[in-house]
Amino acid sequence: MLLPDWAVLNAAVDWLANGLWNLSWWQIVLYALFTTHITIASVTIYLHRHQAHRAMDLHWLPAHFFRFWLWLGTGQVTKEWVAVHRKHHAKCETADDPHSPHAHGIETVFWKGAELYRAETAKQETIDKFSLGCPNDWIERNLYSRYSWQGVGLMLILNLALFGAAGLVVWAVQMAWIPFWAAGVVNGIGHYWGYRNFEAPDASTNISPWGIIIGGEELHNNHHTYPTSAKFSVKPYEFDVGWMYISMMQRLGLAKVKKTPPRLQLGQIKPVADEKTLEALIAHRYEVMAGFARDLKRTCQQEIAVLKAKQADASVLVAARRWLHRDDERVPASAQPKIAEARAAHPVLDKMVTMREELRQMWLSTSLSREQLTANLKDWCHRAESSGIQALQDFSVRLRSVHI
């Protein structure tokens, strides 16, 4: 009768319990958070800003490290991720958008975002059309793309070796990190709930002003407004950890930033708006309109204060103020009656909303010449400054000081 080798059995039990590193539970948690943060950084810096949008160049060393880590931590194929993301921007919020909550439903995108991603990568037309410029070297063809899931298998083996049975939990967290935070939260919540700095031509939102957990991807409205910018934060109170890493790499000569968000410049106030004013307006339209939105919100709040001082009913205006500064096509049908009622009862707000739309047409018009648009802008400023509405007057004066 063969007796068990207790030394081997004890060693096996000890390995299952502690792994090679024999770390405490909080050290294992720190390891999991550290490795998943590297994965997030790899996605936002390499896949998103470098590959998908060409907002920056990367030295071969960090570029290949990110490729290798993504192979280990996600099994992600560069050309597939890039193609799906570029199609998302090209077809945003339409039925062809691979993961819009407005096309597929917020619950579907949040909980099944990874499934939507895999379904899109199965479409060869998407890959062929939207993956131009992605790596196609020997190691990409023969390892990263060809054996994409062997990388995550290797990660599982490493985790089991280092932590024993707990390594399986670490691996599960690593594998779920991107599908949850990127496919679910950014693609779902980032087009459904949050605040907006800019009236971008889609439903993108900033989930949080501090982009740390998802590498700066929380600032999704900023990104959709300036998609080719390597920096996602635009306000003084916003923080983009991905940009912090990029700045560090740039100082070390490992990255070169191509583009950042344009900054609105205010100079001498011109007597009248001219072609240069029009050029600056079009170039900085999102920032200009964000300023108009702030003025409209302040005016709306003043109107509400007047109604409350008179002990009058302000419920209609309170319900409408969220949407008054939004583009018509972005206002839900359920809110339109409230807006119409509020505008009818408040001529000042009605005038501001009307003139906001007129200003927006300055860069949407394709049939008017540059001279005609300049004349329209000059007339717009004249009417704003003679309207008797302080907010419009102040805005027009600021607009005449904008320059490239």
Q: Tens digits of per-residue pLDDT, 162-221? A: 998 899 999 999 999 999 999 999 999 999 999 999 988 899 999 999 999 999 999 999
Nearest alpha carbon to residue 281 among 175, 179, 396: 396
CA-to-CA distance for 385 and 210, rounded, in angstroms?
A: 38
Cβ neighbourhood burial of 52 (10 Å; 0-12, 13-18, 19+):
buried
Which sign does the torsion angle of CA 354, 356, 357, 361 carry? positive
Measure the CA angle with vertex 185, ends 181 and 190; round to 5°: 135
Given pLDDT bands bounded at 50, 70 and 90, which one contains residue 1?
A: very low
Percent of the chain residues past pLDDT 90, beyond the cut? 81
CA-to-CA distance for 280 and 270, rounded, in angstroms?
A: 13
* Alpha helices for 19-77 (secondary structure H): 25-41, 60-73
Q: Tens digits of per-residue pLDDT, 292-342? A: 999 999 999 999 999 999 989 889 899 888 888 888 888 888 889 999 999
Q: Tens digits of per-residue pLDDT, 102-157? A: 889 999 999 999 999 999 999 999 999 999 999 999 999 999 999 999 999 999 99
Q: What predicted TM-score, i.e. pTM, was given to this entire model?
A: 0.89
* 3-class DSSP state of 110: helix
Q: How, if at all, do strands 255-257 and 239-240 pair?
A: unpaired
CA dihedral 153, 159, 164, 169 (to 10 degrees): -80
**Predicted local distance difference test score (pLDDT) of residue 12:** 67
Q: Tens digits of per-residue pLDDT, 340-393? A: 999 999 999 999 999 999 999 888 888 889 999 999 999 999 999 999 999 999
